[in-house]
Amino acid sequence: MKKIAPTLLFVSMAAVTGAAFPLGDIINRAVADTRAEFTGPALKPEQLAVTVIDLRGPAPVRADYRGDERFYPASVIKLFYLAATHRWLEDGRLADSPELRRGLHDMIVDSSNDATNFIVDALTGTTGGPELPAAELDAWSEKRGAVTRYFESLGYRHVNAKRKTWGEGPFGRERQDMTAHPPARNFLSTNDTARLLADIVAGRCVTAARSAEMLALMARDPFTPKTDPDDQSIGFSGPALPPGAKLWSKAGWVSWARHDAALIELPGGGRVIIVTFTDGREHANNRAIIPAVVRRVLAGLAN
């Protein structure tokens, strides 16, 4: 597998960002004010993580709140399967086809779990099925870890991209492997998620052309009403955007977590990445927390 050296993206978070305060201070204030807003039930410090990359200046500036903490990523993990698929395609490890492209589209645009599980099988050469004898399961599990190892080779520290995304499962060998070869669930940090999104935005993820293809699948319209209140365009960062802004994103939502990885283009120009993860069953259905964080970060950057 072709390896690419980790990209050195960031200058000090105290560098000039175009705002009156360092980016870290803006994030900390946004988190504090959001926690003060949501008190019933309380939004605990450990239930939130935020990473921001300000792309408006001559060099990207990154800061975070609990950005290296590992969260169950829900459907945000699909960004990593998307990037890995393009790496495999570029290296000739996967054959391009209309069916593969349909899977990538439905995985990112519609957040389809069925499409995601097809992509995971294609990436790793594994399939679900009945339980396996121990030696066969060991071999199966080694193959299933290919995507995680790829990101580790690039210097990602908090990425486990081994598991499928389920509605009702897992069953059979998928469940068997969760016990035999932990960790049982995928995980991501907001820092690693923001790093991947930044490389896609900059055209450094695999190639510039492939980065553009990935970004095109993430385009959202937060200003057109949707019938589903949890649509990725309007159920996460979208409500925080000012008129004229543009949004590219990948959201994740399960009964105990709600996340968004968003690229925002501001009306006056310039782009900002804001990745927000929240944890806790008491907050998973709260559609106001993520936009509250994003709105405050954007306001801080504008001051």
Token pair in block for residue 171: 């069953």
| Helical (H) or strand (E) element with 80 | helix 78-90
- Mean pLDDT in the chain? 94
Task: Compute the distance between CA of residue 158 and CA of residue 155 in angstroms, rounded to an integer.
Answer: 9
Query: What domains does the chain contain, in order, with CATH numbers?
Result: 23-302 (3.40.710.10)
Task: Compute the distance between CA of residue 125 and CA of residue 147 in angstroms, rounded to an integer.
Answer: 11
Going by the DSSP 8-state scheme, the letter that residue 164 receives in this structure is: P
Task: Compute the distance between CA of residue 149 and CA of residue 253 in angstroms, rounded to an integer.
Answer: 25
- pLDDT over 90, % of the chain: 91
| pLDDT above 70 for 11 | no
Q: Considering the entire predicted model, what is its pTM?
A: 0.93
Q: How many other CB atoms are found less than 10 A from the CB of residue 143?
A: 11
In this predicted structure, what is the pLDDT of residue 21? Answer: 81
User: What are 88-136's pLDDT values in tens digits?
Assistant: 999 999 999 999 999 999 999 999 999 999 999 999 999 999 999 999 9
Q: How many CA within 13 A on the CB side of residue 278?
A: 31
Contact status, residue 216 vs residue 205, Cβ threshold 8 Å: no
